[in-house]
Amino acid sequence: MTRILYFILLAAAALFFPLYKGALSLATLLTLLILPVLALIRLAVSARLFDGCPPSGDTVITKGSEGEVCIRLTNRSVFALSGCGLRIRAEYAPSGEVRYYNAAVPVPALSSQTASVNINALHCGSVRLTLEYVTLYDEFRLFSVKRMKNRELGKICIIPDFTDDCSEEGKRIMRLPVNRSDLQNGEFTNMNGSPGDVTGYREFAPGDKMSSIHYKLSARFDKDIVKVMPPVGSKKYLLSADLSEEDLSVRDVLLEKMLGTAKYLTEQSCEVYAAVPEEADCEKIYLDGRSGCGAARLSTDEEIMRISCILCETACAGTDSENGYIVWRAEKAGGADASLE
């Protein structure tokens, strides 16, 4: 709009000057021609001395809250920037949805200013943020230049708030039978590890017995792989959830129930593992080649937080109960509920 108004005034001054030759008409025409040149020079100098500092590291927030992204903009020139427009690209996982956020802030001369954008977090997942560009404008909004193109701003992980009480679910799991025959006989005992049960596999470490080496897996991966055995009488639980559910509300319920139950079980001094994608950046004791999952240990609040961030951004279908996992899946009838296998 400003450009249209400027060109209208310039055209009027150009028509006015031949008709009414005089100092006023000449001064008006020269002013309209010189001011944009000066504004362009000031913008070029300011853009040359402009820079920004994107946030460092990832942010973790709970579902239903807002994540704030702050970018510090610095203007080292002697000319003020009356307008700086930011365009941020937000990629939501696992849905793949892409949203754009805009913000505008003036930056005075020889100073810094912080621009902030609030990111919505309605469902569990992650948001990868990219600063597409910062647009700098002159005082008259006639010219603009883009800086800081395609800068990574990190990631926001959206995890459950763990406010739901999963104690009943945890108590129910702790009463599950060791195997199907126990269930058929009506005997409900704790799912305790028993001698001889292989709970997983990991790389050989100093102190491991040579008899625990799994030779077929060692030959396959070209390194020593040992079998992981549970301590006698230990309470060990392998948990999994089908996170490939397209309905994000149902997926949230599955994730919240599994992680909430895992948190309860760890508070009861149980040994808890969660199924995570094989490519996840965390230590895994067991790799299931068929489902592409591994088992990650959940023993502290920090580990639960880290595994929560991994699971929230994946659409992994998890594994099944045949591998010894307790599995949460969406009910066949639909709706935001979950059933155990």
pLDDT higher than threshold 80 for residue 164:
no
**Structure-model confidence comparison of residues 184 and 134, the more confident one:** 134
Averaged pLDDT for residues 27-46: 88
Per residue in 257-267, pLDDT (tens digit) is 999 999 888 88
The answer, yes or no, to whether residue 41 has pLDDT greater than 70, is yes
Domain ranges, ordered by start, for the chain = 2-48, 50-159, 167-194+230-340
Q: How far apart are CA 104 and CA 102, in angstroms?
A: 7
30 band by pLDDT with thresholds 50, 70 and 90: confident
Residue 150 to residues 97, 131, 153, 253, 292: CA-CA distances in angstroms? Answer: 18, 5, 9, 35, 33
- Worst-scoring range by mean pLDDT, 75-89, 218-232, 270-284? 218-232
d(CA 112, CA 84): 12
Residue 227 has pLDDT above 80, yes or no: no
Q: Are 144 and 127 in contact (CB under 8 A)?
A: no
Q: State the average pLDDT over residues 293-308.
A: 87
Spatial separation of the C-alpha atoms in residues 308 and 200, rounded to whole Å: 21
Residue 341 has pLDDT above 80, yes or no: no
Q: Can you name the CATH fold of 50-159?
A: Immunoglobulin-like (2.60.40)
Of residues 260 and 320, the one with the higher pLDDT is: 260
- As a whole number, mean pLDDT of residues 210-232 equals 77
Least confident window among 57-61, 96-100, 175-179, 220-224: 175-179
Contacts of 192 (CB under 8 A, 6+ apart): 178, 230, 233, 234, 235, 236
Residues 6+ apart with CB under 8 A from 334: 250
Which residues lie closer than 8 Å to 56 by C-beta, 6 or more apart?
A: 154
Write b or e for each residue in 114-133: b if 16 or more Cβ atoms lie within 10 A of its Cβ, otherwise e.
ebebebebebbbbbbbbbeb
Record the pTM.
0.72
